[in-house]
Structure 1
Amino acid sequence: MNFKAKKFEEFLKKNNIECFQRETIKDELKTTVFRSVMEVEGQNLPTVIVTDISIYTIVRVQIAAKLLKDIDSEKLLTYLNKLNSEYKLFKYYVTETGDLCLDSCIVSTEDNFDVEIIYTSIDVILKHLIEHYPILMKHIWSIKK
C-alpha cells in the first residue's frame, strides 16, 4: 500500500469511518482505491478516492451512468462547461462510455499529504451535490432526445 493510502486508512480508523472498502491495485504507481457511495436524493452515487505514489489524489463521484445515449450531448456539455466555470474544487465531465462524473484532483507530495484536505473535499462535494443534484438532473431530463 502506498504512503497516502496508509495515512488515509489511519484517518478512517481513528475517526471510526467505516463506509470505505479498500482495493489495492498491483501497478507501477502502487495504486490504492477506496470505494464508497454518496447518498443524494435517494440515489447511491459511486464514489472513489484514488491514491498512488504520484502527486495526485483523485476524488471521483459517478453522477449518472450511460447518460449520452438519450441526451442532446451538445446541450449537456454546454451546461457542464457553465458549471465547471463556477466551481474550483471539482469538475464535471462525461466519460467515453457516457457516464457523468465529478472529479477533484488534490496535489501533494508525501511530505505534505493532508488527509483532512481530502476529507474536507469529500464533504464539500457532498454538500454541493445535495444542493445541486436535483437541479442538474432536472436539466438533464429537460434535454432528453
Structure 2
Amino acid sequence: MNKKAEIFLNYLDEKKIENVFAIEEMPNDDWESSIFRSNIDIGGNKLPVGVILDNSIYGMIRILIAPNARTDENELAVLRVVNEYNKKYKSFKYYFDDKGSLVLDICILSAEGERLGDLIYAMFDVIINHLNESYKEIMHAIWA
C-alpha cells in the first residue's frame, strides 16, 4: 500500500470511520495505486465512488453519475448542463468516459499526504451538497 493510502487508512481509523470503504490495491501498477470504494446517497440513488490514491502528487475522487448515459439524442443537452458546472467549479469536472457513462472527477493535490483525510472529507461535503442541488437537472438532461 502506498504512503498516501496508509495515511488515509490511519485517518479513517483515528476518526472511527468503519465499514465505509472497501480497499483495493492495483497489482503490477507502477504508481502503487489503492482504491477506496464506497457509494454516496443522492436522493435515494446510490452512486459508486472511488477514492484513488497513488505515489503521484495527485489523488482522485471519482463518482459514477450515470452508467451508459450518453445517447445521440441527449449528448448535447447533457454536455450543456455539465459544462456550466465545469465552468463554475474549479475542483471537479464532469465528462463522458469511453463507454458513454457520465463521470465526475475531483482532483486532490497532496504531495506527502498531509491533512489528506480532512481534505478528502471536505471535498465529499462539497460534492454531496453540489449533487443534492444538481443531480435532478443532470438526470433530466440524460432522460430527455
Q: Deviations over 1:46-101 (max 9, x none)?
A: 00000000111000100000011364212222222122111122111110101101
- 1:54-69 to 2 correspondence within 5 Å? 54-69=56-71
Residue 32 of structure 1 contacts residue 52 of structure 1 at CA under 8 Å; is this kept in 2? yes
Aligned length: 142
Letter in 1 for 2:14: K
TM-fit CA distance, 1:114: 2.6
Q: Please list every run of 5 or more consecutive structure 2 residues that lacks an aligned counterpart in the other structure.
A: none
Q: Deviations over 1:95-140 (max 9, x none)?
A: 0101101111111211645321111111210111112111221232
Letter in 1 for 2:24: E
1:107 aligns with 2:109: yes
Residue 61 of structure 1 contacts residue 102 of structure 1 at CA under 8 Å; is this kept in 2? yes
Q: Please list every run of 5 or more consecutive structure 1 residues that lacks an aligned counterpart in the other structure.
A: none
Q: Give the TM-score, by structure 1 length.
A: 0.91
Letter in 1 for 2:107: C
Change (3 A) 1:111 1:25: closer
Report the Cα distance in structure 1 between the residues aligned to 2:14 and 2:36, rounded to whole angstroms.
16
Report the Cα distance in structure 1 between the residues aligned to 2:96 and 2:78, rounded to whole angstroms.
9
Residue 81 of structure 2 contacts residue 138 of structure 2 at CA under 8 Å; is this kept in 1? no
Report the Cα distance in structure 1 between the residues aligned to 2:121 and 2:91, rounded to whole angstroms.
13
Runs of 4+ in structure 1 displaced over 4 angstroms?
none
The percent identity for this pair of structures is 38
Residue 4 of structure 1 contacts residue 113 of structure 1 at CA under 8 Å; is this kept in 2? no
Q: Give the TM-score, by structure 2 length.
A: 0.91
- 1:81-100 to 2 correspondence within 5 Å? 81-100=83-102
Report the Cα distance in structure 2 between the residues aligned to 1:85 and 1:11, rounded to whole angstroms.
32
Residue 50 of structure 2 contacts residue 61 of structure 2 at CA under 8 Å; is this kept in 1? yes
Aligned-pair Cα RMSD in Å: 1.5
